[in-house]
Every structure is written in C-alpha cells, then in structure tokens.
C-alpha cells in the first residue's frame, strides 16, 4: 500500500480521480481519527511498559503498530484523493506532506526492533500527528478557528463617514463568501478577503465590472437558481438575503468604489438610501438595548392583577410595559404600587383613567419611560409639568385631553421625544402649525379633522323589543348618539322639529291602529329619515297551542309553535334566516290548534299574519280555514278564505299580508287554523293573533 | 363513585411522583448539557418559554381582522388590470389558465369571456397605490396600508377557504387564529375576553359564517372566541337582575367559590378552577363592558368618521367602532366578519353597496387608531378568503357581469402593527390570473402575522393526539419584505 501511495504521490499531477472514488476521498476526515487514536494509544502503552509483563506488552505493541501503520496509510491515500478534488493551497501542501511523512514513520516502526530508536520515531510521529491534525482542522474550519473567539471583540463603529465597502459590503462578503474564498482555501482561485484580491478576481476572471450589474460575475452567480451548479453561495451554505443582494447590486452599479462613503453620495441616491436603511437598522439595535437590570420576577408577579397588566417586553429584555384598566375600578394605588419596578417601566398606558396631579408626579420619577399614553384622561397642561424629568420619553399620547398649546414648554425639555399625539385636544390648527415648525424633528399626529359638510343622522331605534304589545306596555325609543333629540307623532302625520319631543317611554292607543312616526335631530347634523313603527295588540295567548308540523325549516330557525305566539312580528327583508318566521309548504302545511280555558275572555277575532319573501313573485297562500268548537272533537268550519295564484306587485302591495277572521258567536274554546300554500310556494308565517 | 375518584387521584399522584423523579435527577443533568445557559440565570431560552411572553420584542400587541366574507373581487378593488378592459369579451387564453381547476359553477361554461373592472382605478398617496373608485376613503389612507396583491390559497369554495384562513386547515377542527394568540400571548386585559367576534351582513349575495371559525379547537376552552351580540347590549345577561347589587353579587360569588373549592379539593378536576376564573371574569366584565360600550366619551366627529351607520348596532360601521374600543381596552384579537361579497352575478350593482358598507368605516378605524397612537401596536387586516375570476360567470353584457371563485390570486391589505405603510407587494400577470412575483400563501400570511405579534410560528405549538400542532401546520414563511 505504501508503494501505491508513492505511485500516487509521483503521478499526482497526471492523474485525476474518477468520480466514484470521490466518496472514498471524502471519508478522509472520518478515517483519520483511527491513526490518531492508535498513535496516542501506542505512546501511552510505551509509557506504561514497566507496569505490564513484557510478553503481553510485546504482543499488544506489535498488533497496535501494525494496525496504526495500516490505518495511517489508508487515511493518507484517502486524503490524497480528497486533495485532488480542490485546489492546492500552502496549508494543504503542508498538511499533505506531514501526513505522508507520518505514514512512512509509522511504517518504519514495523521493522524497527531497537527500543530507543522505536521510541524516538514514535514520538516524532506523535508530534507530527499534532501538527497534521492542526493544519487539517485549519483546512476544514479555517485557520483562525481556534483563535477566533479571542479576536472577535474588535468592533468598529460604523458611521456615515465609513466607506460603504468597509462598513456594509465587506461584512456581507466576510459572513457569506470568505469561508471558501480566502488565501488558504482559494476555491476557484479566488480570494475575497480584501478589495484588491477581489478586483484581481479568480479562475473565471474579474468578480465585477464596475458600474454594470449585468456583467458582474458575482451578481450573475448570486441570481442563478439555487439548484444551478454555478450558483453562489452553493446550495446548503447560508444564502444572501434580498437586502444584501440589493445593496451589493447598488454598490456595483454605483461604480464599486472602495472609498466612497454615505456622506459623499448625493441626496436621494438609491445606493445612499439603501445604505442609510442598513445603517439605521444597525444603530437602532444598539440604541434600544437597555442599561438597567431585570426587575425581580417576584416583584413583577406580585404587581399583576386583573386591573393592572405588567408585562416584560421579551425574555431577553428587562423593559416592562404597564397598562391599567377600568375607570370605575381605578385607585391611585394601582399606579403608585409600581414604585419597585419604576426603573424598568418603559411603557405606561393610563387611557380613560381619572389621573390626578399627584399621580403625574409619581410618573415623573419613571426616568426610563419611553412611551406614555394618557388618551382621554382629564389632564391639563399644568398637570404634565412633572414629565420634564422623563428625559427618555419618545412617544407621548395626549389625544382627547384638555392640554393646550403651552404643551410646548414641556416638549422642549424632552430631548428624545419623536412622536406626540394631540388629536382632539384644545390645540387649534394655528397652534398645531406653530408646534410643527418649532419642533420639526417631532411627528405630531393631529388625526381626523371634522369637515364642514353635514351628515345625515340615523333614525331613532325602538329599544322595547317587541312591536306586539298590550295597552299597558311602554314604548321605549332611543339613539346611540349623545345629545340627539327624538321627535314623534302618533296621529299618522310626518314628524318634524316641532312634533312631540320624546323624553320618557310612551304608551299609545292601540285601537287607533296608527303607527308611531319618529325622527332624530341634532345640531350640526341633517335630520334623520322618518322611521315608522307599527304596533300590534298582543291580544290573548292560548293556554295550549299545538301544531301538526313544526315548519319545514324548524331545525334551522326554531319551532313554529313558539314563533307563531312569541309576540314578534317578522321583518320581510330577513325571512330566510330569521327566528321570527315559520315556514310551511303544501306537504307540511300550517295546522294549529289553540285552546282557551273556560275562564278566559272569549275570542272575537283571529288575525293570521304572513309575509312574502323577496324572491317570491306570486301569492303563496292558497287557502285558510278556521274551525272552532267547544270540544276538541266537534269543531265546525267557521270561515274559509281562498286566494288565486297570481303575480303580485310587492312595490305596491307590500310584503306583509294578514287575514282577519271574525268569530260570530264567540263562545268557543278550541280553534283550529289550517293554512295551505300553493304547490310551488312556501308560506312564511310570523304570528297568530287572538282578540 | 367516591372510591373511583380516590383511586384516580392516587394514580395521578403515583404517576406524577415517578415522572418527577425521572425528570428531577436525570433532567437537570441532561438539561445542563443540552442548554448550556440553563444554570446561568437571567432570560429563559426560547423553546421553554412560558406562555404569555413574546418570543421576541415587537411593536404589535393586538389584531383587528376585518374578514370580508364571500371573497371581494380583487379586480374591482386593488388589482388594476386595464388589459381586461381592452380584451372585453375575448376568451381567457389557455396559456394563462393552464388547465387549472375551476368551481363546479363555471367548469362547464362554454367560454370564459374576460371582463375588466366597470369601476375606474386611480393612484393615490405618495406610494401611488392603485385603488378603485369604489373605495374612496381607503384610497385616502394608502400611505398607511400595505396592499398584498399576490395572496393565494388552497381552497376553492367559501367554507374551506374561510376555515383555512382562520385556522390554517380546511377541515374546521383546529383552533382559530384568535385562539392561538389568546393561548400564546394571553389576555392583555383580564377583565375582558382575549378573543372577540363581531358579525355584520351586507346586502350582497352572502355566505355562511359559523362558530367553528372562532372555535378553540383542541386548546383550552378559555381561548374560544366570544361572539358579541348585534343588539343594544353587545354582551347579553351581563347585568345583575333587579334587586341584586354589586356587593350582594360579590358575596354570592365568594360563597360559590368556596363551594367550588371544596369540590376541587374532593375531585381535583382542573375545570372547576377554570369555572371559578370564568365567574370572576364575568364579575369584572360587569364594570368593564359598560365602559367600553359607552359612546358618550366619543366626540361627535368620530361618528362622522365611521359614518352615521356606526350608531346602529350590528352594522359593519358600528362593529368597527366597537372593535376599536375593544382593542383599545386590550382585547388581543378582534375578529369581524362582513357577509355579502359573493358576486357570482350582478357584480356591478351589488359590489358598490358592499363597498359603501365597509369603505368609510374600515378607513376610519385605521385613522382612529392612528390618532390615538395605537396603530403601531395594532395590526389591522382586511381581506376575503380568496379572489374572483377575471372571466365572467354567466351571461356577459355590456353593463353586467359576475365573477366566480379564484383561489390563485387575490388582494388583501394590512395596516399598522409593524407593517410597512404605503407599499404594494406582489404582482399578478396582466390578466390578473396567476401570480408572477412574490406569492404569499395563506400560511405565509399567518406566519407573518404571528411574527408581527412577536411569536415564532414554528415554536408556538400544542401537543394533541400525539403530535404538535401549529397554526401554519408544517408550512409558512415570514414575508420579511413587508415588515417595517
């Protein structure tokens, strides 16, 4: 095998290894651990020679030497295969020859019998292994691998004057390219450690053509699809990000100048903008780090309660955010209890709370506070004096407070303030302009400004739910907006600003059958459209109410037996998914029996109320029959109504229908109502009234 | 019965004891090997973070998601394709469609005539974002929003697509996005639910919204979305009955908790404790909720901003206003649904009404958050579950057309919460059919939303039925380009 090794070494430059041997070569880093271990073992064994009986020592020693020699030469041959794949560097040559030397030294051991010579050769081999190992590690991990952690401390401050190449381009290349393209491991004969070596390029020529993104080899390879053989960095290595590619392209486009820096670029230069973005990100990371300690977890946990949220910003940050909730439940202690962690609080939200001046003085002691939200508190400018000591304040939110333009006295002593929210305060437009010019570096949010054009109000709403009422029920009207005036009429006329003013719930005369017409009015708003509410007399509820069919969509919208007597009139715009309409068809028509007790008032009239769905074009009700009797088994037909199947005009006729059936003698206890729709139609019924 | 419970508890204790032994000795040694800084104190490692703390510090704290249910057409809102107007009535080229699947509603259509937007587009703001004339108020705030024109999804029908958007899976058994945030970040204000849902309905062709969309799935039931009612009282049955005052209620709850604690001591069921917590929260909600629903502190021009509709409970505008108030009070995730965007036909007549419902209030919500200094920490998301086809469904006439479902490309927008304002991200081809640049999958959107909230979508998991589940399943990449 050693002769094979010699042959390999001699003809190294003439032969190229076939691809199927490459895996064997790549196992070099695996196999090499055997000779290392064996040599170390040999050395240890020789140290311990005196402790063993000589016979067994000789046997073990002999065996180990043979084994070491074999694995060493194997590792060497594999190493040679591996070395032929890549390009030779000084380091590799050194590693190679030391490795070969060890191999022959160990081979020599096999034949050496003299103990002193044996030991000398062994120790030289051992030292050789240390060196070969070190250089080998340098090949795989880079030469600075061991010393790297010691060197890292050197950080250069990057500013606008730093050359873009040094400050932004090189760090990218260092992180993603130099691992393979360095003086020791020049893949593609390319060294990317310095500007000059990059300009001279590699095996495939120059790395870039200054000013041309199209002709630059670097960019071409970066943009190739990941699977492509020539794509860089190769698949599996860390890829360049989009931002990095953009920066590299822009820098090359700009001329790939080594010395140009951000300050030398014209304003709004695309490269300049990109670089300042990167710069901003770098500096931001630095400035946001906090220099105070973590609060004690015990303290933080003790301060948490339902009315006070205390959150550490992230596991790696000592900064704490605090929000206090609930106006009614607020007590100043909720704030002042925070004194233990006041150093760590960077964000405090006290919106809507009744904060007083004393509390503000406490806030003044939170020197690391960066964000303070006081929206819709009752604070005035003079209450905020104590904030002057919060020199780290960046965001101050005062929307909906009483502050005025004197706020500038406070703002001017807050050096870091960058955003102020002053929407819906007493500061007027002129004063806002002054503020903006006095503090150009601060962003003032002034929010939505009320435009002059008036909007139409929405009509009053009926707050008493049902429109089916008895004569003693109150009708409650309302409007969500504050300061709205509701006016109404009960005589059927259109309401206007001189109609009756709604103050308290009202009762109406149900016999007149006239609707209530309502309108909403408010200063600076256009009056609402008139909204008409029609009310129905509840009448009498039967003691028992039974149906043969509970409606065909009962599983979806509730049972017809309830719907028909629930005192709710349905809305014809919303029939399909409403809980107020029961649905019947020809196969399962409405077939209801109502029972009244002896003592209950006698029924004089039955009203059957149904609606027409928006897609229905024809009259749905074919026939309605009302049967009545004193006993359940002896009912007689009192009235039958038949309708013709005809097209209807909903615009003119409306979408509600009702059939009134007079009961002549009014002495019955049982009533049976049968309503059958036409074959193709569905019948939607919302209520049955008994008067 | 008692005996069974007793045995059960013994079992639990034995198992706990053994488990602790194994973890105690071996765990400490192994832990120090695997996590080198285990004994170094200060700052836990990311993997073993307690819930309720962000993985990394970000600005966004809350989300308001304005889901436009039914899928609004991107071609009439944000994705301007004049080519479609030029090619009015011509057939969609096969080279564009590439045999991709269509819904059963148009798959058998003989031809696929292209149709452009009936509504004009203009560029707005410093960013020059294209917005159609249907959204004049959103057009005014383009410099605050980031329009993503390259959204795409897996599902082609409403229910699976909406479920996919909200839960990261089409089947509907996973926790909703809001539940994940409630689980991962907890509640900001312990007096309110962390996840609230508000529904509204437009006049256009609507699609169903089901409570499975705000289900907690396999997470604890405390993370379920709480649907607020569209009536005068958004949360029903919150008031004390007549004759009972606050002190009495407090006393009653204290006694009830004592009884419950006895129950817990006996049975050891953790659900008893969560029940006590729920009672306590409901008690605190009795004071917290009226403060939120009280509009008297709202200046008049707030109503002008959101539109007069905001004074009618149950409308989109009033839900937007309520969403702002809930979010302002610390509700982690407010989910709105507005139905009625499914314009298979009659689009030129239905869509303007839908747009009118939402345009003013959506824009007002963003402006309102901004003027309170809340936009940085509140992420607003506006969009539907998929897009609509560039060809006409049904009969194409000069002034009327409809559009079918199109999952391959659609537009949404986001604002605040650490998203870059004033940009349009991603591009579709000139037919508005396929994405040609920077595609964003639903999982990518979810990953990005989580990232904005300070959560790593690969790390927030829940072990259930033997595997760890994520909102993004095994997919998702954060769209870094839109992060501010």
From chain A residues 402-421, the ones with a CB under 8 A of any chain B CB are 419, 421
Give yes or no for residue A14 having a pLDDT over 90.
no
Q: Is the pLDDT of residue B28 over 60?
A: no
B268-283 mean pLDDT: 83
Cα A342 vs. chain centroid, distance in angstroms?
30
Sorting pLDDT into bands at 50, 70 and 90, what band is A27? Answer: confident
User: Which of A98-107, A116-125, A534-543, B38-47 bottoms out in mean pLDDT, i.e. has the lowest?
Assistant: B38-47
pLDDT score, position A165: 85
Say how far apart CA A123 and CA B65 lie, in whole Å: 74
Confidence band of B24 (pLDDT split at 50, 70, 90): very low
- pLDDT digit string, tens, across residues A334-372: 999 999 898 899 999 999 999 988 889 999 999 899 999
Indicate whether A158 pLDDT > 80. no
Cα distances (Å, whole numbers) of residue A115 to A107, A112, A118, A122, B350? 16, 8, 5, 10, 102
CA distance B199 to B203: 14
Query: Which range, A432-441, B208-217, B440-449, has the best average confidence (pLDDT)?
Result: B440-449
Q: Rounded CA gap, A16 and A21, in Å?
A: 10
pLDDT band at A324 (very low <50, low <70, confident <90, very high): very high
CB neighbours (10 Å) of residue B80? 22
Distance from CA of A578 to the nearest CA of B (A): 13
- Output helix, strand, coil percentages for chain B, rounded to the nearest 5: 40, 15, 40
A52, A119 Cβ separation under 8 angstroms: no
Cβ neighbours of residue B243 under 8 Å, at least 6 residues apart?
A: none
- Strand, helix or coil for residue B382: strand
pTM: 0.69
Query: With contacts defined as CB-CB under 8 Å, which chain A residues touch B43?
Result: 294, 315-316
pLDDT at A507: 87
pLDDT at B21 over 50: no
Q: Looking at the predicted structure, is the pLDDT value of residue B15 above 60?
A: no
Largest Cα–Cα separation, chain B? 80
Residue A376 backbone class (left: φ over 0; alpha: ψ -120 to 50; beta: rest): left
d(CA A48, CA B79): 83
Residues A648, A619: Cα–Cα separation, whole Å: 6
- Indicate the residue of B287, B330, B370 with minimum beta-carbon distance to A445: B370
Does A480 contact B295 at a Cβ distance shorter than 8 Å? yes
| Test the B interface: residue of A326, A464, A529 with most B CBs within 10 Å | A326
pLDDT at residue B33, rounded to an integer: 43
Query: Residue A307 above 50 pLDDT?
Result: yes
Give the number of beta-carbon pairs within 8 Å between A and B. 133
The per-residue pLDDT for A452 is: 66
The pLDDT of B410-425, averaged and rounded, is 95
Peptide bond into B420 cis (omega under 30): no
- The whole-number average pLDDT for the span A296-309 is 88
**Res A295 pLDDT > 60:** yes
Q: How far apart are the CA of A600 and the nearest CA of chain B, in angstroms?
A: 31
Contact criterion met (CB below 8 Å) for B138 and B362 = yes
Which of B371, B375, B437, B452 should one mutate to test binding to chain A, selecting the residue with the greatest count of A CBs within 10 A?
A: B371
Question: Number of helices (H) and strands (E), helices first, in chain B?
Answer: 13, 17
Please name the residues between 426 and 465 in chain A that touch chain B, using a CB distance below 8 Å. Answer: 445-451, 455-458, 461, 463
Three-state secondary structure call for residue B463 = strand
Contacts of A354 in chain B (CB under 8 A): none
Predicted local distance difference test score (pLDDT) of residue A468: 86
Residue A275 CA to residue A266 CA, distance in Å, equals: 13
Chain A CA closest to residue B283: A306
Q: Does A315 touch chain B (CB under 8 A)?
A: yes
Beta bridge partners of B335: B65, B197
Ordered structural domains, chain A, with CATH: 2-141 (no CATH), 164-287 (no CATH), 297-445 (3.80.10.10), 450-537 (2.60.40), 539-690 (2.60.120.260)
Of B287, B302, B313, Cβ closest to residue A326: B287
Residue A448: name the closest of B381, B53, B484, B375 by CA. B375
Measure the CA–CA gap between A662 and A369, rounded to whole angstroms: 79
Highest mean pLDDT among B19-33, B232-246, B340-354: B340-354
Q: What is the mean pLDDT of residues B2-17?
A: 50
pLDDT at B14 over 80: no
Beta-carbon separation of A450 and B291 below 8 A:
no
* A294: contact with B, CB 8 A cutoff: yes
Of A55-69, A154-168, A393-407, where does the model show the most confidence? Answer: A393-407
Tens of pLDDT, residue by residue over A397-420, are: 999 899 998 988 899 889 899 999
Q: Residue B287 is nearest to which of A314, A328, A456, comparing CB atoms?
A: A328
Give per-residue pLDDT as tens, B39-59. Answer: 333 333 334 445 667 777 788
In chain B, residues with a C-beta closer than 8 Å to the C-beta of A480 are 295, 311-313, 318
Helix-helix angle A270-287:A242-253, to 10 degrees: 140
pLDDT at residue B377 tops 80: yes
pLDDT of A283: 65
Q: What is the mean pLDDT of chain A?
A: 84
CB pair distance less than 8 Å for B190 and A313 = no
| Closest C-alpha among B238, B221, B64, B42 to residue A314 | B42
- How far apart CA B113 and CA B393 sit, in angstroms, is 8
Question: Which residue in A447, A462, A578 has the most chain B C-beta atoms within 10 A of its own C-beta, making it the best mutation to test that interface?
Answer: A447
Crossing angle of helices B177-185 and B442-452, rounded to 10°: 30
Residues B147-163 have pLDDT tens digits of 999 999 999 999 999 99
**Does the structure show a pLDDT above 80 at A298?**
yes
A151 pLDDT higher than 70 = no
Q: What is the pLDDT of residue B35?
A: 42
Average pLDDT over every residue of B298-307: 85
pLDDT band at A272 (very low <50, low <70, confident <90, very high): confident
Q: Which residues of A touch B330 (CB under 8 A)?
A: 309, 323, 325
Give CA–CA dist A337/A327, Å, rounded.
17
Specify the pLDDT at position B43.
36
Nearest residue of A to residue B185, measured between CA atoms: A311
Question: Cα–Cα distance between A212 and A192 in angstroms, integer?
Answer: 19
CB atoms A458 and B299 under 8 Å = no
Q: Please tell me which of the candidates A373, A458, A478 has its beta carbon nearest to residue B309.
A: A458
* A564-598 confidence digits (pLDDT tens): 887 777 776 667 667 788 888 899 899 999 998 87
- Do B190 and A424 count as a contact with CB atoms less than 8 A apart? no
Q: CB–CB of B307 and A455 under 8 A?
A: yes
**Cβ contacts of A465 within 8 Å, gap of 6 or more:** A568
* CA distance to A386, B259, B272, per residue, from B2 (Å): 63, 18, 17
Contact A202, A189 (CB under 8 A): yes
Tokens (6 digits) for A592: 């209801």
- In chain A, which residue's Cα lies nearest the Cα of B208? A577
Residues of A in contact with B327 (CB under 8 A): none
Residue B360: closest CA among B300, B296, B415, B302: B302
User: In the prediction, which pLDDT does A143 show?
Assistant: 67
Select the residue of A312, A351, A447 nearest B371 (Cβ to Cβ): A447
Is B126 exposed, middle or buried (CB count within 10 Å of its CB: 0-12, 13-18, 19+)? exposed
A606 and A592 Cβ atoms separated by less than 8 Å: no
Which residues are CB-contacts of A6 (< 8 A; sequence separation ≥ 6)?
A: none
Give the gap in angstroms from C-alpha B176 to the nearest C-alpha of chain A.
24
**What distance in Å separates the CA atoms of residue A52 and residue A64, rounded to the nearest whole number?**
16
Contact in structure between A690 and A670 (CB atoms under 8 Å): no
Write the pLDDT tens digit of every residue in B176-185: 999 999 999 9
- Look at the alpha carbons of B392, B394, B398, B401 in this order and tell me if their dihedral is positive or negative: negative
- pLDDT, tens digit, 9 for 90 and up, residues A426-475: 888 889 999 999 999 999 988 887 766 788 888 898 888 788 888 888 89
- DSSP string across A51-92: GS-HHHHHHHHHHHHHHHHHHHHHHHHHHHHHHHHS---HHH
B122 phi and psi angles, rounded to 5 deg:
-135, 165
């Amino acid at each position: 095998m050693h002769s094979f090794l010699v042959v390999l070494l001699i003809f190294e430059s003439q032969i190229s290894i076939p691809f199927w041997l490459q895996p064997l070569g790549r196992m070099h880093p695996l196999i090499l651990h055997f000779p290392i271990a064996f040599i170390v073992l040999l050395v240890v064994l020789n140290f311990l020679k005196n402790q063993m009986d000589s016979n067994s020592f000789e046997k073990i020693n002999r065996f180990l030497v043979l084994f070491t020699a074999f694995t060493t030469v194997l590792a060497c041959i594999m190493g040679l295969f591996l070395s032929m794949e890549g390009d030779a560097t000084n380091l590799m040559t050194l590693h190679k020859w030391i490795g070969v030397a060890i191999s022959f030294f160990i081979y020599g051991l096999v034949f050496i019998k003299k103990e002193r010579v044996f030991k000398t050769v062994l120790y030289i081999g051992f030292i050789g292994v240390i060196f070969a190992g070190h250089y080998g590690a340098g090949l795989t991990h880079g030469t600075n691998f061991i010393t790297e952690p010691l060197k890292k401390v050197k950080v250069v401050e990057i500013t606008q004057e730093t050359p873009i190449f040094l400050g932004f381009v090189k760090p990218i290349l260092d992180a993603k390219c130099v691992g393979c393209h360095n003086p020791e491991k020049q893949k593609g004969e390319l060294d990317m450690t310095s500007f000059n070596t990059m300009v001279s390029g590699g095996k495939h020529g120059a790395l870039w053509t200054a000013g041309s993104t199209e002709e630059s080899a670097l960019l071409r390879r970066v943009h190739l699809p990941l699977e492509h053989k020539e794509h860089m960095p190769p698949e599996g290595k860390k890829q360049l990000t989009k931002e990095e590619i953009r920066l590299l392209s822009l820098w090359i486009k700009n001329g790939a100048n080594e010395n140009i820096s951000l300050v030398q670029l014209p304003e709004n230069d695309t490269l300049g903008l990109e670089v300042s973005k990167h710069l901003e990100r770098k500096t931001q990371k630095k400035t946001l780090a906090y220099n105070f300690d973590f609060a004690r977890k015990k303290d933080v946990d003790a301060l948490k309660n339902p009315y006070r949220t205390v959150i550490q910003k992230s596991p790696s940050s000592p900064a704490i955010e605090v929000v206090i909730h609930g106006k009614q439940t607020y007590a100043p202690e909720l704030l002042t209890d925070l004194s233990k962690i006041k150093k760590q609080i960077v964000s405090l939200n006290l919106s809507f709370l009744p904060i007083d001046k004393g509390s503000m003085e406490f806030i003044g002691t939170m020197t690391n506070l960066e964000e303070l939200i006081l929206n819709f508190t009752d604070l005035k400018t003079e209450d905020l004096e104590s904030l002057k000591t919060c020199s780290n304040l960046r965001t101050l939110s005062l929307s909906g407070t009483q502050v005025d333009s004197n706020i500038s006295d406070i703002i001017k002593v807050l050096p870091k303030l960058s955003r102020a929210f002053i929407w819906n305060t007493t500061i007027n437009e002129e004063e806002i302009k002054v503020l903006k010019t006095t503090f150009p570096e601060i962003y003032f949010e002034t929010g939505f400004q009320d435009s002059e054009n008036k909007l139409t109000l929405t009509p009053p709403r009926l707050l008493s739910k049902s429109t089916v009422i008895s004569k003693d029920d109150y009708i409650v009207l309302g409007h969500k907006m504050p300061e709205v005036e509701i006016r109404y009429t009960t005589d059927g006329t259109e309401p206007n600003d001189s109609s009756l003013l709604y103050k308290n719930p009202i009762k109406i005369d149900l016999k007149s059958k006239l609707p209530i017409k309502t309108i909403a009015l408010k200063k600076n708003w256009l009056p609402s459209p008139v909204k008409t509410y029609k009310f129905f007399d509840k009448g009498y509820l039967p003691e028992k109410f039974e149906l043969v069919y509970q409606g065909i969509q009962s599983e979806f919208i509730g049972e017809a037996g309830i719907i028909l007597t629930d005192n709710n009139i349905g809305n014809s715009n919303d029939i399909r998914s409403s809980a107020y309409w029961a649905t019947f068809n020809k196969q399962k028509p409405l077939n209801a029996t109502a029972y009244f007790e002896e003592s209950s008032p006698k029924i004089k009239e039955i009203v059957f109320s149904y609606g027409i769905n928006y897609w229905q074009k024809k009259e749905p009700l074919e026939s309605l029959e009302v049967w009545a009797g004193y006993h359940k088994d002896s009912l007689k037909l009192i009235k039958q109504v038949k309708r013709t199947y005809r097209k209807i005009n909903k615009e003119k006729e409306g979408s509600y229908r009702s059939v009134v059936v007079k009961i002549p003698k009014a002495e019955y206890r049982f009533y049976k109502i049968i309503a059958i729709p036409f074959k193709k139609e569905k019948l939607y019924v919302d209520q049955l009234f008994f008067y | 019965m008692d005996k069974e419970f007793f045995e059960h508890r013994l079992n639990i204790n034995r198992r706990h004891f053994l488990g602790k032994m194994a973890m105690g000795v071996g765990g400490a040694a192994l832990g120090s090997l695997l996590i080198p800084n285990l004994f170094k104190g200060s700052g836990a490692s990311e993997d073993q973070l307690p819930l309720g703390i962000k993985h990394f510090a970000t600005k966004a704290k809350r989300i308001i998601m304005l889901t436009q249910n039914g899928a609004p057409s991107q071609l009439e809102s944000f994705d301007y394709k004049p080519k479609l107007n030029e090619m009015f009535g011509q057939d969609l080229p096969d080279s564009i469609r590439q045999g991709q699947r269509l819904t059963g509603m148009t798959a058998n259509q003989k031809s696929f005539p292209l149709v452009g937007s009936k509504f004009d587009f203009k560029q707005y703001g410093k960013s020059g974002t294209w917005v159609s004339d249907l959204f004049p108020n959103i057009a005014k705030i383009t410099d605050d929003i980031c329009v993503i024109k390259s959204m795409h999804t897996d599902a082609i029908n409403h229910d699976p697509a909406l479920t996919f958007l909200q839960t990261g899976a089409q089947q509907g058994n996973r926790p909703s996005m809001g539940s994940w945030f409630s689980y991962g970040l907890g509640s900001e204000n312990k007096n309110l639910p962390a996840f609230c849902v508000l529904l509204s309905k437009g006049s256009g062709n609507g699609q169903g919204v089901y409570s499975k969309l705000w289900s907690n799935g396999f997470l604890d039931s405390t993370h379920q979305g709480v649907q607020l009612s569209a009536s005068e009282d958004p949360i029903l049955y919150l008031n004390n009955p007549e004759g009972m005052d606050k002190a009495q209620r407090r006393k009653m709850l204290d006694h009830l908790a004592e009884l419950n604690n006895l129950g817990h001591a006996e049975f050891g069921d953790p659900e008893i404790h969560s029940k006590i917590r729920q009672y306590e929260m409901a008690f605190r909600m009795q004071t917290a909720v009226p403060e939120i629903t009280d509009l008297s502190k709202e200046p008049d021009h707030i109503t002008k901003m959101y539109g007069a509709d905001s004074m009618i409970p149950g409308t989109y505008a009033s839900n937007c206003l309520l969403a702002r108030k809930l979010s302002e009070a610390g509700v982690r995730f407010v989910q709105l649904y507005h139905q009625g965007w499914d314009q298979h036909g009659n689009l030129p007549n239905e869509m303007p009404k839908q747009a009118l419902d939402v345009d003013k209030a959506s824009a007002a919500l963003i402006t309102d958050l901004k003027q309170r200094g809340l936009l940085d920490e509140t992420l607003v998301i506006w969009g539907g579950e998929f897009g609509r086809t560039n060809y006409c469904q049904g009969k194409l006439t000069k002034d009327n057309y409809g559009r079918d479902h199109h999952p391959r490309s659609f537009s949404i927008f986001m604002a605040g919460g650490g998203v870059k304002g004033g940009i349009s991200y991603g591009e579709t081809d000139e037919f508005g059919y396929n994405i040609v640049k920077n595609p964003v999958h639903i999982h990518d959107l979810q990953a990005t939303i989580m990232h904005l909230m300070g959560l790593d979508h690969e790390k927030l998991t829940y072990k259930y039925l033997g595997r760890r589940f994520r909102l993004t399943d095994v997919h998702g990449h954060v769209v870094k380009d839109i992060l501010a």
